[in-house]
Structure 1
Amino acid sequence: MLKNYLKTAFRSLWRNKRYAFLNITGLSLGITVCLVIYVIIQYEQGFDMFHTKKDRIYRVLTVSPGENGKTNYSQAIPFPVPTTLPNDFPEFEQVAGIIQTGKRLVTLEDGHGNIQKKFKPLVYFLPPSFFNIFDYKWLAGNKATALNDPNSTVLARSTAEKYFGDWHKAIGQVIKLDQHFDLTVTGILDDPPKNTEFQFEMVATYALLKINEIKDWVTIDDVHNCYVLVRPGQDIAKINRRLIAFSQKYKDPKNKATHMLQPLAGVHSDKRTANFIGRVVPPERISMLWMIAGFILLIACVNFINLATAQAVNRAREIGVRKVLGSNRWQLKIQFLSETAMLVLTSLLLAVLLALCGLPFISRVMDLPLGPGMLATYDVYAILLLIFLTVTLLAGFYPSIVVSAFNPINALKSKIAASKRNGGISLRRSLVVIQFVIAQALIIGTLIILQQMNYFNKQSMGFTRDAIVNVPFRNDSAGNAKIPYLRDQLQHIKGIQEVSFSAEAPSNDGNWWTGFKFDHQTEDVNFAAVTRWVDYNFLNTYDIRLVAGRNLTRTDSVREFLVNETLVQKLGLKPADVLNKDMDVWDGRIKGPIVGVVKDFAAGTLKEAVAPVFMSNIKRRFGSVGVRLAAGADAKASLKAIEKLWSDNFPEQIFEYQFLDERIAAYYKEERQLAHLYEIFAGIAIFLSCLGLYGLASFMAVQRVKEVGVRKVLGATPAHIVYLFSKEFILLIGIAFIIATPLVWYFMHNWLNNFVNRVDINWGVFVAGGMAAVVIALITVSSQAIRAAMMNPVNSLKAD
């Protein structure tokens, strides 16, 4: 019996190849999207979940009051916290301070001090306790002792193989970090998995930086974090209350910043804070991806139902014959469910192939390590089985009921009851509306995301970012001594307009926040500010405007400060009021008068509010030179000249550079990737919706053959016939637009609220999205409408 059902189903599908092709195409695309989204979600939610003690690992956050009652959360902590916590919290089994300052210069020398190799690995400064908290595979060395000596280091396997050929040969070798520290390789770690926040290529000791000597409880730096391993059975809420008392115990009473614990899972998902890899995927984004997967699969299923019911009506005579020959309703239902199962199974197999082919593309778009192996899991198999059963039952159930209910006499005469026909069409119209609600929502949402990305790219940040190149240089006494010579040589290079030495560019995605005393006060002010160490030409190079006072002097022997407008406002003063008032940073180690107030500029990203900033001319902290190229300059020639200058003066360094506008664009990489992903999904959604329209238009064209013939005999033109078919679909799309508009506005308004600087939602994007859906739908429907309009009316009137 089953064999007969399958054989009959196969023959039926083969006779209706176009119908089968449309159904398989739509359904396979919908399932492919589900598989790809599932793989993305599994990757994002799996960050650092491989650690055996993950449920007891927490990150220490700094919590401080913000403006308008808002609370600010930061992963940065004061430097004394990791060394002080163990004494005050016996609940912590392990405590690990972590510093990651990016890629650092490492050189290999021969026995005579000559550099053999030089490279820049990503360096983490970690204590031995780190490896008692987190699980990383050791290939060589003892995790308990490998980092006991401050002058020891541990390399990742790929780093050791890259520079020693064989990682076994790296053990015992001496390498030099930052041309200053001689470190002995005492261990080799297997390369960390891609789904961990700690993508170390080299590990140096936390003790090497002598953090325990810093007693400043105010200054925090985004690169300095702290993790703890909590003993089993502890009350986290109670520990958080004690952390408040801990903060009050060691900090100045005016410093309202406290601390709290954040679960390890929150490091990758809590949008209130950042992390070392610069990617946070909040639960809202995961929910949105699930919704998109569900909606696109729903569109595919709606297509399936539309096409199946339309095809069922066209098979009226076949149903009539089957009923006359003795088939009952149950057998007809099984027959149509068998056909549905064959279509779904074929779609599943095709979807897996499409997902395997599509994952590398999505991997490039999202910059995620998504591989085919991520589909070969029991979870994916279970999802495929669930989709097969659900879609087969849901998508096949309604058509089977419609078909099995046909009256055999009317079916043999191809006269299905008008009420049933109209009822079926009404259901299909409703399903088309649902499809286009989803499709238009995705289109309009994507347009709003693109508008926000365009805003980030074009909005002024308070300084010039075009034609500026940042080049790192040696940050030590030898490098600082060469600054006057380098400045002179750079200014003589053709195409260079301005030169400025500083610690970093005006905008940075990781900032150093510190407290300060103002106007001889004995206590720090009640807020921290972003520090910028700059020279006298910083304002000219980056085109930052003064609003009061003057610029810094050319000499660095006189200590002076510049502040921005926000810092002045937070002091409750006007720009003129702060001029010539003293600033004191780090208890008198750096102090001098405020000589100027600059216009606000974005020290971070445009996602955030403008931060209070102070700048001072501390030459020993300079580590970058900003070069502004003249309009029309040959950038390649200028960079080549800079590289030669650097090679002559810093032969041990690796010459690197980065255009400032490219660096700033990288701040919004996640949002740009999200926009690309939504573009893809919106395109798939509109394509699937058009498949449904095509099927419905085909059905209507068959059902209204005689009507079209009569209209043509009575004088209707082809244009009138096309209009007759199209107006109904435009009405459906209009209804979908009315439903989609408030939904899109609500969700996108909430998304835009994540940014301090944001675009306003305007009606133009809704009109553009709606018009795009109408045009695409008309193109889809017109093929069938024109086909019906061009038929010979004589043949149409002869049709059964």
Structure 2
Amino acid sequence: MLKNYLKTAFRSLWRNKRYALLNVTGLTLGIAVCLVIYVIIQYEQSFDTFHTRKDRIYRVLTVMPEESGKINYTQAVPFPVPTALPNDFSGFEKVAGIVQMGKRLVTLEDSKGNIQKKFKPLVYFLQPSFFDIFDYRWLAGNSATALNDPKSAVLARSTAEKYFGDWHRAMGQVIKLDQQFELTVTGILDDPPKNTEFQFDMVATYALLKINEIKDWTTIDDIHNCYVLLRPGQDVAQINRQLIAFSKKYKDPKNKTTHMLQPLADVHSDKRTENFIGRVASPERIRMLWMIAAFILLIACVNFINLATAQAVNRAREIGVRKVLGSNHWQLKIQFLSETAMLVLTSLLLAVVLALCVLPFISRVMDLPLDAGMLAAYNVYILLFAIFLGVTLLAGFYPSIVVSAFNPINALKSRIAASRKSSGISLRRGLVVFQFIIAQALIIGTLIILQQMNYFHKQSMGFTRDAIVNIPFRNDSAGNAKIAYLRDQLQRIKGIQEVSFSSAAPSNNGNWWTGFRFDHQAEETKFPSVTRWVDYNFLNTYDIKLIKGRNLTRSDSISEFLVNETLVQKLGLKPADVLNKNIDVWNGQIKGMIVGVVKDFAAGTLKEAVAPVFMGNIKQRFSSVGVRLAAGADVQASLKAIEELWNANFPEQLFEYQFLDQRIAAYYKEERQLAELYEIFAGIAIFLSCLGLYGLASFMAIQRIKEVGVRKVLGATPAHIVYLFSREFVLLIGIAFVVATPLVWYFMYNWLNNFVNRIDINWTVFLAGGMAALVIALITVSSQAVRAAMMNPIDSLKVD
């Protein structure tokens, strides 16, 4: 019996090749999108799930309440926290401080001290207890002893193989870190999986930095985090309450910052905070991806239902004959579901092939390590079976009811079209509207995201970011001694307009926040501020405007400060009121006088509010050189001259540089990737919707062929025929636009609220999205309408 159903289904589909092709194409695309999105979601939700004690691992956050009532969260903690926690909490089985200072210089020297190799691995400074909390595979050495000596280091396998040829040969080798610390390689770790927040190339000891000697409870730095492993059965809510008391115990009474625990599972998804890889997959984004996958699959199913019900009218006589020969309702339903199952199964197989083909492209767009192996996971097979079952029932059930309900007498007399006109057309209209609601929503939403990205690119950040090159600078006595010489030599290079030494460029994604005492007050400010250490030419190089007072002096030995407008406002003063007032940083370690107020600039990204900033001229803290190139300069020639100067003065260093505008653009990488992904999905949604329109228009042209012939005999022009075919679809797309507009506005308004600096949603973007959908749909429908209009009316009237 089953064999007969399948054979009949195959013959039916073969007779209606165009119908089958349209459905297979639509379902293949819809299912492929689902598979790709599912792989992306699975990857994003797999971060650090491989640790055996993941349910007991937490990150310590710093909670920073503002006077306005707003509460800010950061992953950074004061440096004494990891040392103090074990003494105050018995519920912590292990505590580990972590510092990630980015890529650091590592050199290999021969017995005479000559540098043989130099490279810059990503270095994590860890307390040894880190490896008692997290699970990483040791190839050599072990977690119990490898980092006991502060002058020891552990390498990732790929790093060891890259610079020693074979990781076995790396063991016991002596390497020099930052030209300061001689470290012995005491362990080799297998490369961290891609789905972990800790993507280290090399691990050094936390004790090497002597962080445990720092007693400053006010200053926090994004590079310093703390993780804990709770003992079994601990009450997290109770520990969070105890952390409030812990904060009060060690901090100044006026310091309102406290701490709380964040589960390891939330580190990659909590958009309130950042992480070491600099990318967060928020629950909102995951839900949006699920919705897109579901909607695009629904569009494909809607296509199937529309085409199947329209096709059913053309199969009326076949159904009538089957009923006359004894077929009952269930047999007809099973027959139709069998045809649907064959189409879905074919589409499913093609979708897997398509997903395998496009996965590398999506991997590049999203900058995610997606590979074909992810489609071989057992949960993907479960998803495929669920899609097969769900789509077969969803897309095939209603058409099977329609077909099985045909009256055999009317079917044999070809009266089905009239008897089914009202209900069938109404359903198809509703489904077309549903398709274009989704398609237009994606188009308009994508346009709004692109506008916001363009706003980030063009909006002023309060400084010049074009033609600025940032070069890492050696921050030690040898480097500081060469500042004046290097400045002079750089300014002699053709094409260089301005030069500035500083701790960082104006905009930086790893800011140093600290409190300070203003005007000899006994207490620190209630708000932390971003700290920049800059020279006298910082303002000129980056074109930051001075609005009150004067610039810093040329001397690097006098402690003077510049502050921005936001800092002055938070003090409740006017720019003139802060001039010549003192700033005391780190309990008197650094003191100086405010000599000028600068216009606000974005110390972080435009996604955030402008931060209070103070800038002082302490050359011992300079770690970056900003070079501003003149208009029309030969960039490559200038960069080559800078490299030659650097190599001559710092032969042990690796010369690196980065254009400031490119680094700032990287801050919005996630949003840009999201926009690109939405562009792809919007294109697929509109294609699928038009695919359904094409099929419907084709069947309408067949069903109304006699009507067209009569109209042409009575004098109707081809243009009038095209108008008759198109006006109904224009109305349906218009209804979809009216429904989609408020939905898109609501969701995109909430999305834009995530940014402090954002665009206002303009009505023109809705008009553009609606017109785009309308034009594409009209082109699709008109192709069939023109074909019907150009037929010879005599041939049309002969059609039975």
TM normalised by structure 1 equals 0.99
Counterpart CA distance in 2 for 1:253 and 1:547 is 35
Is 2:168 aligned against 1:168?
yes
CA contact (8 A) 2:313 2:417 kept: no
What secondary structure sits across from 2:394 in the alignment? helix
Q: Which residue is equivalent to 1:69?
A: 69
CA contact (8 A) 2:321 2:412 kept: yes
Q: Which residue is equivalent to 2:472?
A: 472
Cα distance per residue 1:113-157 (max 9 Å; x no partner): 000000000000001100000000000002111101000000000
The letter of the residue matching 1:184 is T
Q: Which residue is equivalent to 1:717?
A: 717
The letter of the residue matching 1:429 is R
Alignment of 1:748-767 (within 5 A): 748-767=748-767
Cα distance per residue 1:19-56 (max 9 Å; x no partner): 11100000011000111111000100110011000000
Q: Which residue is equivalent to 2:193?
A: 193
Is 2:86 aligned against 1:86?
yes
Q: Which residue is equivalent to 1:379?
A: 379
Counterpart CA distance in 2 for 1:313 and 1:334 is 18
Cα distance per residue 1:578-622 (max 9 Å; x no partner): 000010101111101000000000000000000000000110111
Counterpart CA distance in 1 for 2:226 and 2:378 is 36
**Structure 1 position 408, deviation (Å):** 2.0
Counterpart CA distance in 1 for 2:149 and 2:733 is 70
Q: Which residue is equivalent to 1:404?
A: 404
What secondary structure sits across from 1:69 in the alignment? coil
Counterpart CA distance in 2 for 1:66 and 1:308 is 60
**Structure 1 position 327, deviation (Å):** 2.0
**Structure 1 position 526, deviation (Å):** 1.0
The letter of the residue matching 2:202 is M
Q: Which residue is equivalent to 2:546?
A: 546
The letter of the residue matching 2:382 is A
Counterpart CA distance in 1 for 2:411 and 2:641 is 85
Q: Which residue is equivalent to 1:50?
A: 50
Is 2:614 aligned against 1:614?
yes
Cα distance per residue 1:729-772 (max 9 Å; x no partner): 00000000011011101110110110000001110110000000
The letter of the residue matching 1:19 is Y
**Structure 1 position 418, deviation (Å):** 1.9
Counterpart CA distance in 1 for 2:270 and 2:502 is 33
The letter of the residue matching 1:755 is F
**Structure 1 position 412, deviation (Å):** 2.1
Cα distance per residue 1:555-598 (max 9 Å; x no partner): 01111000000000000000000000010101111101000000
The letter of the residue matching 1:132 is D
**Structure 1 position 420, deviation (Å):** 1.6
Query: Please, which runs of 5 or more residues in structure 1 have no aligned partner?
Result: none
The letter of the residue matching 2:507 is S
Q: Which residue is equivalent to 1:126?
A: 126
What secondary structure sits across from 1:505 in the alignment? coil
The letter of the residue matching 2:556 is D
Is 2:728 aligned against 1:728?
yes
CA contact (8 A) 2:240 2:261 kept: yes
Is 2:587 aligned against 1:587?
yes
Q: Which residue is equivalent to 1:670?
A: 670
CA contact (8 A) 2:268 2:275 kept: yes
What secondary structure sits across from 2:68 in the alignment? helix
**Structure 1 position 326, deviation (Å):** 2.3
The letter of the residue matching 2:745 is W
Is 2:418 aligned against 1:418?
yes
Q: Which residue is equivalent to 2:360?
A: 360
Cα distance per residue 1:514-560 (max 9 Å; x no partner): 11111011221111110000000000000000010000000011110
Q: Which residue is equivalent to 2:796?
A: 796
The letter of the residue matching 1:568 is V
The letter of the residue matching 2:438 is I
Counterpart CA distance in 1 for 2:86 and 2:453 is 45
Is 2:269 aligned against 1:269?
yes
The letter of the residue matching 1:63 is V
Q: Which residue is equivalent to 2:31?
A: 31
The letter of the residue matching 2:415 is K
What secondary structure sits across from 1:438 in the alignment? helix
Q: Which residue is equivalent to 1:151?
A: 151
What secondary structure sits across from 1:229 in the alignment? strand
Counterpart CA distance in 1 for 2:590 and 2:320 is 95
Cα distance per residue 1:206-243 (max 9 Å; x no partner): 00000011110000000000000010101100100000
Counterpart CA distance in 2 for 1:410 and 1:264 is 66
Is 2:445 aligned against 1:450?
no
Q: Which residue is equivalent to 1:460?
A: 460
Aligned in 2, Cα 1:361/1:76: closer, same or farther, shift over 3 Å? same
**Structure 1 position 377, deviation (Å):** 1.3
Counterpart CA distance in 2 for 1:275 and 1:6 is 54
Q: Which moved more, 1:44-53 or 1:395-404?
A: 395-404
Q: Which residue is equivalent to 1:293?
A: 293
The letter of the residue matching 2:146 is A
Counterpart CA distance in 2 for 1:135 and 1:769 is 49
What secondary structure sits across from 1:326 in the alignment? coil
What secondary structure sits across from 2:113 in the alignment? coil
The letter of the residue matching 1:206 is Y
The letter of the residue matching 2:612 is P
Q: Which residue is equivalent to 1:323?
A: 323
What secondary structure sits across from 2:155 in the alignment? strand
CA contact (8 A) 2:440 2:773 kept: yes
Counterpart CA distance in 2 for 1:291 and 1:711 is 45
Counterpart CA distance in 2 for 1:17 and 1:66 is 67
The letter of the residue matching 1:479 is G
Is 2:513 aligned against 1:488?
no
**Structure 1 position 403, deviation (Å):** 1.3
Cα distance per residue 1:174-204 (max 9 Å; x no partner): 0000000000000000000000000000000
**Structure 1 position 321, deviation (Å):** 2.0
Counterpart CA distance in 1 for 2:587 and 2:360 is 54
**Structure 1 position 67, deviation (Å):** 5.2
Counterpart CA distance in 2 for 1:142 and 1:373 is 31
Cα distance per residue 1:422-462 (max 9 Å; x no partner): 21111011000000000000000000000000000000000
Q: Which residue is equivalent to 1:743?
A: 743
What secondary structure sits across from 1:68 in the alignment? coil
Counterpart CA distance in 2 for 1:24 and 1:31 is 10
Q: Which residue is equivalent to 1:307?
A: 307
Counterpart CA distance in 2 for 1:8 and 1:592 is 90
Alignment of 1:521-536 (within 5 A): 521-536=521-536
Counterpart CA distance in 1 for 2:568 and 2:3 is 83
Counterpart CA distance in 2 for 1:481 and 1:568 is 34
Q: Which residue is equivalent to 1:572?
A: 572
**Structure 1 position 331, deviation (Å):** 1.6
**Structure 1 position 66, deviation (Å):** 2.3
Q: Which residue is equivalent to 1:228?
A: 228
Q: Which residue is equivalent to 2:107?
A: 107
Among the aligned pairs, what percent are the same residue?
Answer: 85
The letter of the residue matching 2:286 is I
What secondary structure sits across from 1:256 in the alignment? coil
Q: Which residue is equivalent to 1:435?
A: 435
**Structure 1 position 417, deviation (Å):** 5.3
What secondary structure sits across from 2:50 in the alignment? coil
Counterpart CA distance in 2 for 1:270 and 1:122 is 24
Cα distance per residue 1:243-287 (max 9 Å; x no partner): 000000010011000000000011101110000000011111111
Q: Which moved more, 1:705-714 or 1:155-164?
A: 705-714
**Structure 1 position 797, deviation (Å):** 1.3
Counterpart CA distance in 2 for 1:408 and 1:246 is 82
What secondary structure sits across from 1:464 in the alignment? coil
Q: Which residue is equivalent to 2:643?
A: 643
The letter of the residue matching 1:716 is A
The letter of the residue matching 1:252 is D
Is 2:344 aligned against 1:344?
yes
Counterpart CA distance in 2 for 1:332 and 1:75 is 62
Alignment of 1:251-262 (within 5 A): 251-262=251-262
